[in-house]
A and B are shown apart, each in its own frame.
Chain A
């Protein structure tokens, strides 16, 4: 069935208001969008890694989750989710359960790229029928904007402050999506919030309904950490895609498909200039930083095009 925004929005909303995420936060947008792709009648158990999202959505006694939800710790959302999924199979096998459940884990980039990486890798390798969704906001926002392995090069964070000797983060962003592809799981995709949300909705639906393990990497901007006015979220996401800083693609059974190719690939400045975390890159004498950033984006983009046979 082809995507239709109106029909999609008429589906059941599975995240409740009253959560305490910051105004303009990207993570609840990712969560409600992913959960909306559950087919009517299907239930879900959601697992949340410790994160802004987790402490804001289940502060006793208030849960924003209309589905069953389990938070365990920071580094083990994938393992915990795999335990719930296995319990489901056990009860199904014993004839003790009739309903259809889907299993979705959410973690931030810290809980996914870094501390939860082993747990994630294990769960994906074991092939549990689950989706792991990383809402990637490129730093440890819950503890106050510290760098993670997802933070882009040069970004100014509280543990990579742009100083007189070291200009922000030294290393490039880890390419987690490709690492997940290397697990040989049936579905991996990278997406964000664009236009009528067709890209993220379709990918989330595929991720949930592809049998076996699936991984979805959603760029979910954090206005506080990235330092842009909260109302500009959609502009930031669009710039990330149009500059190819965050390309949209999916990998189905190991085969790469490019979801969107910009007609005119914009220079990275168009993305960087919107965000305070990159402001120092625009100071006189720092032109080399923008050049280096552009080179890395180009290198990865060319590599992706080659993988997609384009």
Chain B
């Protein structure tokens, strides 16, 4: 049985880091992830971990130090948000292409401008093609659980991993949480034993690859991302055997007989569950797919879950500014098309930008739209903004 506690999402992640006791952390303050390096440096300064903490002068250097440390053969971690994440974007690509399984905690926040410190997914989604594994949490418990699984996943496929949660909504809200005993955590995570390392024997990292090799290198990187799907499921199942909390790539909620469904990421899934409960009580056949793993994208699983519905909405807490849909909508639509599924009618909803409240009524509004589409067959505008003043 685990340990019952009450922690904010940031503290839960910091506590997971402490239990894992990684070798090096390089981090820089930014709202709302600042508390993570704050908590962690108090562990360092009180001798509760062996980790060396590098108080860098920018997020770019935070990721640069992680790349150096991980290449040297260490477990390296960082935490960031928003502009900090995209300031390190260049280095995120390098970390992935160098195949360094760094772990990065992200407390998601809107991007400037206008400057805004509240939650949406613009930061994480803007680096979705950087080659990182990306897991999202609905609750503090999931943020903690995902963090404990992160290194097992990243190290198995040789890719860095982001553990994302919603800034303020979970990062600062205190919730009941069940912690795993530290000995069990250490046994579950295991020792890091990379094949090489700068401090092990002479090696060279960060090659200049000519066109004769670059594409092969990328193909290999793509394979690692594909292979990660099975690893995430396996580690999620093992974690379940230990804690009773099993994780997969997606979570289906009331999807068995659903005729209308939403696809969503993060804390708003909790709100959506409430909305669905109320609608189910009214006899509506509504359901939800919560995406836990955005990278790799659970294409088959989503198609399988959506193929029987009449109408669906993909909820993006950020916008692609492509003039027609949010980024997750594009991936869901591509998944359906590739699988030859053309029955369900889908719309893209942009919601919750810059901390705009997502209420039960907001989600019910989306289901009202889906009901109309399902009944009339008339899809109307597919690119919609939720709860925006006209």
Question: Is A–B contact present in the complex under a CB 8 A cutoff?
Answer: yes
19 A-B residue pairs with CB within 8 Å: A45-B198, A63-B207, A66-B202, A68-B203, A70-B68, A72-B67, A72-B94, A73-B64, A79-B65, A82-B61, A83-B67, A84-B68, A87-B68, A87-B73, A90-B52, A101-B199, A118-B61, A119-B61, A123-B61
Cβ contact of B72, chosen from A65, A87, A123, cutoff 8 A = A87
The 10 closest A-B pairs by CB, nearest first: A83-B68, A122-B57, A83-B65, A71-B206, A87-B72, A79-B64, A79-B61, A63-B204, A76-B64, A60-B207
Interface flag for A75 (CB, 8 Å)? yes
Does B268 interact with chain A (Cβ within 8 Å)?
no
Output the residue of B50, B51, B67 with the most chain A CB within 10 A. Answer: B67
- B residues 8-65 touching A (CB-CB < 8 Å): 23-24, 26, 50-52, 54-58, 60-61, 64-65
Q: Which residues of B contact A283 (CB under 8 A)?
A: none
CA gap between A101 and B198 in the complex, in Å: 10
Q: Which A residues are in CB contact (< 8 Å) with B3?
A: none
Which of B171-179, B208-216, B296-304 lines the interface with chain A? B208-216
| Cβ–Cβ contact A83 & B24, under 8 A | yes
Does B91 have its Cβ within 8 Å of any Cβ on chain A?
Answer: yes
- State whether B60 touches A76 (Cβ < 8 A): yes
Residues of B contacting A243 with CB < 8 Å? none
Docked CA distance A88–B69 (Å): 8
- Cα-based distance from A122 to B55 in the complex (angstroms): 9
Known: A63-B204, A71-B208. 18 other contacts (CB 8 A): A58-B206, A58-B208, A60-B213, A63-B207, A68-B203, A69-B206, A76-B61, A82-B56, A84-B199, A85-B68, A86-B26, A87-B199, A90-B23, A90-B24, A94-B23, A119-B57, A122-B61, A126-B54
Interface size class of A (residues with CB under 8 A): 35 or more
Cross-chain contact A58 with B74 (CB below 8 angstroms)? no
Measured in the bound complex, the distance between the Cα atoms of B56 and A81 in whole Å is 12
Q: What are the residues of chain B within 8 A of A118 when measuring CB–CB?
A: 57-58, 61
Residues of B within 8 A of A67 (CB): 202
Instruction: Decide: A61 and B207 in contact? CB cutoff 8 A.
Output: yes
Q: Which residue, A55, A66, A88, has most C-beta atoms of chain B within 10 A? A: A88
Where chain B touches its partner, the secondary structure class is mixed
A265 interface residue (CB < 8 Å to B): no
Say whether A122 contacts B199, CB under 8 Å.
Answer: no
Q: Smallest CB–CB gap between A151 and chain B, Å?
A: 25
Closest to A68 in B: B198
What sequence of 0s and 1s flags, for each residue 188-208 of chain A, a beta carbon within 8 Å of any chain B beta carbon? 000000000000000000000
CA distance A119 to B91 in the complex (A): 13
- Give the A-binding residues of B (Cβ under 8 A): 23-24, 26, 50-52, 54-58, 60-61, 64-74, 76, 90-91, 94, 198-199, 201-210, 213
A80 and B68 contacting across the interface, CB-CB below 8 Å: yes
- Quote the shortest CB–CB distance from A177 to chain B (angstroms): 20
Nearest B residue to A122 by beta-carbon distance? Answer: B57
Q: CB distance A70 to B54 under 8 Å?
A: no
Q: Are A89 and B67 interface neighbours, CB within 8 A?
A: no
Confirm or deny: A263 has a beta carbon within 8 angstroms of a beta carbon on chain B. no
- Please name the residue on chain B nearest to A48 by beta carbon: B206
Tell me which residues across on chain A come within 8 A of B60, comparing CB atoms.
75-76, 79, 119
In the complex with contacts A54-B208, A55-B208, A72-B199 CB distance below 8 A: no
Contact B209 A83 (CB under 8 A): no
Chain B nearest CB from A307 CB (Å) reads 27
Would you call A294 an interface residue if the criterion is a C-beta within 8 Å of the partner chain's C-beta atoms?
no
Interfacial residues, chain A to chain B (CB-CB below 8 A) = 45, 47-48, 54-55, 58-61, 63, 65-73, 75-76, 79-91, 93-94, 97, 99, 101, 118-119, 121-123, 125-126
Shortest distance from the beta carbon of B310 to any chain A beta carbon, whole Å: 49
Q: What A residues does B90 contact at CB under 8 A?
A: 73
Partner of B56, one of A55, A60, A79: A79
Task: List the A side residues contacting B54 at CB < 8 Å.
Answer: 82-83, 86, 126
A79 CA / B207 CA spacing, docked (Å): 18
Provide the residues of chain B in CB contact with A94, threshold 8 Å: 23, 50
Complex alpha-carbon distance, A121 and B57, angstroms: 9
Q: Are A88 and B72 in contact (CB under 8 A)?
A: yes
In the complex formed, the residue of B with least CB distance to A119 is B61
CA distance A71 to B98 in the complex (A): 10
**A70 and B24 form a contact (CB under 8 A):** no
B64 A119 Cβ-Cβ under 8 A: yes
Query: Once the chains bind, are B56 and A69 in contact (CB under 8 Å)?
Result: no
Question: Which residues does chain A contribute within 8 Å of B72, judged by CB atoms?
Answer: 45, 83-84, 87-88, 91
Contact among B58, B69, B201 with A84 in the assembled complex (CB-CB below 8 Å):
B69
Q: Are B23 and A91 in contact (CB under 8 A)?
A: yes
Task: Check A70 against B71 for contact (C-beta < 8 Å).
Answer: yes
**CA gap between A63 and B202 in the complex, in Å:** 10
Chain B residues with CB under 8 Å of A101's CB are 199
Determine the distance from Cα of A126 to Cα of B27 in the docked complex, in whole angstroms.
13
Give chain A nearest CB distance to B127 CB in angstroms. Answer: 16
Count chain B CB atoms within 10 A of each CB in A67, A75, A79 and give the residue with the most.
A79
Contacts of B66 in A (CB 8 A): 83
For B207, the chain A residues whose CB sits under 8 A away are 58-61, 63, 71
A83 near B94 with CB under 8 A, answer no
Q: Are A82 and B68 in contact (CB under 8 A)?
A: yes
Do A45 and B199 have beta carbons less than 8 Å apart? Answer: yes
Shortest Cβ gap from B73 to chain A (Å): 7
Tell me how far the C-beta of B24 lies from the nearest C-beta in chain A, rounded to whole angstroms.
5
Most buried by B among A91, A99, A123: A91
Q: Are B204 and A69 within 8 A (Cβ)?
A: yes
CA gap between A83 and B100 in the complex, in Å:
13
A91 in complex: contacting residue of B58, B74, B208, CB < 8 Å: B74
CB within 8 Å for A87 and B208 given contacts A80-B68, A97-B199: no
